[in-house]
Amino acid sequence: MATNIETNSSDLGEEYYNSLPTLADSMVATLDFFNVKRMYGIGGDFAVNLIKAFETNLKLLPSSNEMHAAFSACGQAEVEGLGVCVTTYTVGSLPCSSAIALAKSENLPVIFISGAPGESEIGNVAIHHTVTSFSSWKIEYDACLNSFKELGIRSERLQGERTKGQPDVAGEQFFNLVAHAFTNNEPVFIEIPRDIVFKKTQALKLPNSKYDLNTDLTCFASGDIVVKSILKKLEASKKPLIYFGAALKLNKKLIKLITQFCEKNSIPFVSSWFGKGILDDYHPLSLGSYNGVFSDLHHRKYIDNEADYVIEVATSIFQMDANSAFDTGTHRLSSFPNKTLLKGTSKLQKDLIEIFEKLLISDVKKFDFNFESQKAPLLNSTDKFDFHNLTSVLNSIQDESGKSFIYLPEVGNSYFASYSLKIKQSSVGRGWISNAWYGAMGTTLPYARALCEVLKESKSNDAAVVITGDGGFHFQLNELIHFMKDKLNITIVYMRNNIFHLGKNSNAEIYNCSSEDFDVQKLVSCYGGEAKKCSTIGEFTDYFLQCVNENKGIKLIEVPAIPESQYQCNEIKLLNTYIGFKNGIPEAEKAWGNIINE
């Protein structure tokens, strides 16, 4: 393995050659330019030089496996704006497939870096980790590159020196790939041959700021016309509404501009389901998150029946069924007759920034928005605590708390129940973080780890709260070792019913995900944490407050959940009925027909 820097001068002169950085230095400078402070990963033979290159200037955080490292990088992108994962060749990078697909569907800028065989090693021998059968006539070096290209992401291998005496351009190639991820909010996959990491590469002259990158702004020349059209429609409107899409979630500047515009003119706003958590539900102009029949009925009545003009900002180009009431025809905003669509097609959404900067200084009348908030339900401390009152209890606690809870719901019942949570703005700008397009189960602890690293570093008083079923918890509980090792603070609400309940329509063994004999409290104590079983509202409230107020170490609240209709929240009841309807179950077909015809 070649690790020494070549010292011979090139035909461009010795002074020039001596001024060149190594690829290692160039990559570190690029990541520093994009404000990357940490990366997640697993070591391996082909990643040895990469780890050596990064370890002095970045925190290299280990994970329990490559998939969790990749999920943590996705969580890092959600919280910090850019995530990085490093693994070894094929055996390390292929397990990242689920997270790469998740990052693609969630529009997350994640840099997936993999070590690779050195360019000097390529020949007619199948190197270990290559995906090559013993009966094959072909050596496959590009399995990961081709696999991830099929997922629709930009995948490249950095190239070393191609002409003797001329330095390679791998540093520039690396910078351009990271810049592509950042400006397009999408993942990239980069393989790096291990024998070029410490070789010389062309020096880069970096821009002053990552926001100064070339973003093709000259292509947008119709901003004044768009603004003029919006102002005309606002003038004719009595009850306008702004509908926030999920594509806004990483653009704090644009969120601030739109919020200021709403405040200046008293225009209410609502987010899509996938956009939940980017807005403060305690804001007097907030109508929460909207998704047709699955929405809060009190807010839905205003949105469906009173709003007369909608400005839809940064939603998906294509409708997605989970984000439009599962294509039930009940999502009023998707076909609203008087609407302005502002999708945002420029990089870094600078076209939308330009529009709202102009709207903010325009003369717009102040609207009379009067919306009486729904009174919180009365809670009896001795009542059973379960999914049917999970969010009302947590909302009641959040109403009285002086700190913000940042919720991370796991895929399944916990995820869908969480849409009724009332979100308070947090120090990281998000109050609800989840893989809303649910690319894979078992992401909440890796996501929470990335969040908790930031909360710890910034000394924030906010409390990270994971809500999970036992099925999702078993997928990922080995990640708790890193919460213990790094002294991270997390509160886990563990809804235990011992089955995969969402969409269940039989008693097949495959739905059983746990055992009655499993002692989760002993398990948590092994990780240096504390746990308690809470069955009533009063027990849960008291212990939850203790957990979030202390906010130290791992705390788990075990809640015995009963998978019966009276203990299910409205979202879960609706979704189970809908799943039955789509699978042709007669009782569900009849029930679903009654629901959408109400």
pLDDT digits (tens, 9 = 90+) for 541-572: 999 999 999 999 999 999 999 988 899 999 98
For residue 255, what pLDDT is reported? 96
For residue 165, what pLDDT is reported? 66
CATH superfamily to which 390-567 belongs: Thiamin diphosphate (ThDP)-binding fold, Pyr/PP domains (3.40.50.970)
Q: How far apart are CA 440 and CA 12, in angstroms?
A: 51
Q: How far apart are CA 158 and CA 165, in angstroms?
A: 18
CATH for 217-360?
A: 3.40.50.1220
Give helix 350-360 / helix 252-265 axis angle, nearest 10°: 20
For residue 387, what pLDDT is reported? 95
Q: How far apart are CA 102 and CA 439, in angstroms?
A: 5
CB 168 within 8 A of CB 162: yes
For residue 3, what pLDDT is reported? 34
Q: How far apart are CA 55 and CA 37, in angstroms?
A: 11
For residue 212, what pLDDT is reported? 82
Secondary structure of 254-297 in HEC code, one letter for each residue: HHHHHHHHHHHHCCCEEEECCCCCCCCCCCCCEEEEECHHHCCH
| pTM of the predicted structure, to 2 decimals | 0.93
The listed CATH number (3.40.50.300, 1.20.120.10, 3.40.605.10, 3.40.50.970) that belongs to domain 14-212 = 3.40.50.970
Q: Domain map of the chain by residue range?
A: 14-212, 217-360, 390-567
For residue 213, what pLDDT is reported? 83
For residue 10, what pLDDT is reported? 52
Spell out, as residue ranges, where the chain has pLDDT lower than 70: 1-12, 165-166, 214-221, 436-440
For residue 437, what pLDDT is reported? 60
For residue 440, what pLDDT is reported? 63
Q: How far apart are CA 19 and CA 14, in angstroms?
A: 9
Residues 6+ apart with CB under 8 A from 238: 308, 367
Q: Do 14-212 and 390-567 have matching folds? A: yes
Structure tokens at 17: 């050659």
Collapsed DSSP state (helix, strand, coil) of residue 411: coil
